[in-house]
Amino acid sequence: MISRRLYGYPSLYGYPRPDGQYGIRNLVGVISTVACANEIALRIVQRVPGAVGFYHQQGCGQTVKDLAEVKRILVNLGKHPNLSGVLVVGLGCEGVPADDVAAEIALSGKPVQRILLHEEKGLKAAIAAGVRLTKDLVAQARKLKRRPFPVQQLVVGLKCGSSDATSGLISNPVVGLLSDRLVSAGATVIFSETTELLGAEEILASRSIDKTVSKALLETVQAMEERIIRTGFDIRGGQPSQGNLKGGITTIEEKSLGAIAKAGSTPLQEVTRYGQRPQHQGLVLMDGPGREPEAVTGLAAAGAHLIVFTTGRGAPQGFPFVPVLKVSANPTTALDLKEHIDLDLSAVLSGEMSLTEAENVLWDKVEKVINGQKVAAERNRYYTFNDIYVTGPVL
């Protein structure tokens, strides 16, 4: 019954956007363009139900390359289909101008407003103006109704964090089965974490649709490895993390083999840069780090409607306007951190459930989340502090 719904029956519902996309959430985003404006954006969000904020530590005092990257990511976040409207918040002197960000987001057709602290002449006035504009955007959003949308428009991000032995043995392989099902139905699945491909990149390269994609994958992994080497330090100690080691993962290669299990078995269609929207449907690799605050931002900027996040020891992070579904097969974690875990797959570990049965349970949960059921991170509002991945120094 589950696969029947997925393969032809309209079981997915979302909010239509002017650019033809559908969002599975109908929120108003308050997006800060620079770290100095985070406080304004945060206080606006605290005063307006239905609004969520994206705050970060970038936007000024960076190389021209990194400033361009930050702007690109902010624009992609603002265009995300889960946002009905956007308020862009700036200081007035930053390296990523709020006017430019707002103008590019507006090309999607959604309503966009902007405020600047300097222009409003202070914090209190900026907050008052922001609250007024955001309330108006929320009122517009509430007029929209859900409609059926095809699975071919669905984009799902994959992530693992605070991993342990159960991640590679159970949670990630179950997500791999989900990935295969989604790709077979016509959806797009994005996985990332380039540092967690080291030692397993040849396996993925052999699954690429052609030599161009295979070459792009190998070059992406090599570039990340060379960047690590240039620091003068070994990756060990950072990857696997101390938590990974305590959870039974002993080497980066072992961690990588577990991590790529999330990608299932379908051909790799494309390799994209961090936060870039895929041009092809199917399985896609996005270049990016493993650390949660930057990794989930990249998946959101790439257009993921939701993120399926496996965790062995318990990673609580979410994202403000993309539901992050937490899956664990560690029975202790599922019990002790049940406040943060959305799906407990420890029955596979005890032999009470097969991997295939677990995947059916996971799809059923994914479908409910797409259609409006909140995940733990949304209920807990555990999504305030994320960041954008940059490679240059702070100047």
Q: pLDDT digit string (tens) for 155-184? A: 999 999 988 889 999 999 999 999 999 999
Residues in the chain: 395
pLDDT computed for residue 235 by the predictor: 63
Give the 3-state secondary structure of residue 12.
coil
User: What pLDDT, on a 0 to 100 scale, did the predictor assign at position 257?
Assistant: 81
The set of residues, in sequence order, having a beta carbon less than 8 Å from that of 373 and lying 6+ positions away, is none
Residue 203 has which token pair?
Answer: 């396996």
Of the candidates 113, 124, 90, the residue with the CA atom closest to the CA atom of residue 28: 113
Rounded Cα distance, 387 and 394, in Å: 14
Determine what percent of the chain falls in helix, strand and coil, rounding each to the nearest 5: 45, 15, 40
Residue 187: CB atoms within 10 A of its CB come to 22
Q: Which of 14, 327, 42 shows the shortest CA–CA distance to 171?
A: 327
Tokens 């005890």 -> residue: 350
Strands lying side by side in the sheet with 13-16: 22-23, 13-16, 147-148
Tell me what pLDDT residue 217 has: 97
What distance in Å separates the CA atoms of residue 386 and residue 389, rounded to the nearest whole number? 10
State the burial class of residue 140 (Cβ atoms within 10 Å of its Cβ: 0-12, 13-18, 19+).
middle
Residue pair 127/40 in contact by the 8 Å Cβ criterion? yes
Listed as ranges, residues in the chain with pLDDT below 50 are 1-5, 7-10
Phi, psi of 380 (to 5 degrees): -80, -10
In 91-163, DSSP assigns E strands to 112-116, 147-148, 155-160
Residues near 376 by Cβ (< 8 Å), separated by ≥ 6? 316, 318, 326, 339, 340, 341, 342, 382
Q: Output DSSP code: residue 4.
A: H
Give pLDDT tens digits for 61-89: 999 999 999 999 999 999 999 999 999 99
Chain centre to alpha carbon of residue 323 = 9
In this structure, are residues 263 and 308 in contact, taking their beta carbons and an 8 Å threshold?
no
Cα separation, 5 vs 8, in Å, equals 6
The three-class DSSP label of residue 118 is: helix
Token pair in block for residue 238:
């950072």
Residue 305, both tokens: 């409607």
Instruction: Evaluate whether 17 touches 109 at the Cβ level (below 8 Å).
Output: yes
107 Cβ neighbours under 8 A, 6+ residues apart: 79
Chain centroid offset of residue 111 CA: 23
